[in-house]
Amino acid sequence: MKIFCEHGFYSFEAESLDDKTLFELNTGLTLVGYGERLTFAPLAALPEVSVQGQPYGNLTAKVNFCGTPAEVMRANGFVFDISAQALADKTQMRQAQALYPQLNGGYIATEALPQAGGRYGQKVLLSFNGVSRFVNKQFILRGAEFENASI
């Protein structure tokens, strides 16, 4: 299954008919339809506009912004917390999972889907794309965007 995480907004594209089922069985997470892709239910319900001081998902918007939900999340400093299945402030994410660098410039995560906003060494993961390999329980990140951790 192809994985896309844009500014903390996760979406997935099945490469075969059983990808959705395999993903759900292997991760314990449920996916719903979102256009031609799949995503998590709370993300599928997000609007394309945030108004400062008003609810945006389960949080309060910090800025007025119009764009895709991924762009709105970035403008507000939000990411999707996979384990809580809810939006979270990027600065509050504390996951520290290992990402193993590869010779081709990519990364491999074992066991768990990488968390946007999570700390990986001295960097914070913002966005990535890649694939999941269910047989070896690996998530292969072919491209990733990081920022330096401020703390």
pLDDT digits (tens, 9 = 90+) for 24-81: 998 899 999 999 999 999 999 999 999 999 999 999 999 999 999 999 999 999 999 9
Mean local confidence (pLDDT), 110-116 = 87
Q: Please give the Cα distance from 25 to 107 (Å, whole number).
A: 23
Residue 151 pLDDT > 60, yes or no? Answer: no
Burial 130-145 (b: 16+ CB within 10 A, else e): bbbeeeeebbbbeebe
Mean local confidence (pLDDT), 86-101 = 87
Q: Which residues contact 4 (CB under 8 A, 6 or more apart)?
A: 10, 11, 12, 13, 37, 129
Percent of the chain with pLDDT over 70: 98
Residue 96 pLDDT > 80, yes or no? Answer: no
- On the CB side of 97, CA atoms within 13 Å amount to 18
Q: Please give the Cα distance from 33 to 38 (Å, whole number).
A: 5
Partners of 60 in the beta sheet? 55
CA nearest to 139, candidates 12, 9, 8, 7: 12
State residue 150's pLDDT score: 64
State residue 111's pLDDT score: 73
Mean pLDDT, the chain, whole residue set: 92
State residue 115's pLDDT score: 93
148 compared with 13, residue with greater pLDDT: 13
State residue 71's pLDDT score: 98
Which residue has tokens 């999570």? 118
97 compared with 89, residue with greater pLDDT: 89
Residue 129 pLDDT > 60, yes or no? Answer: yes
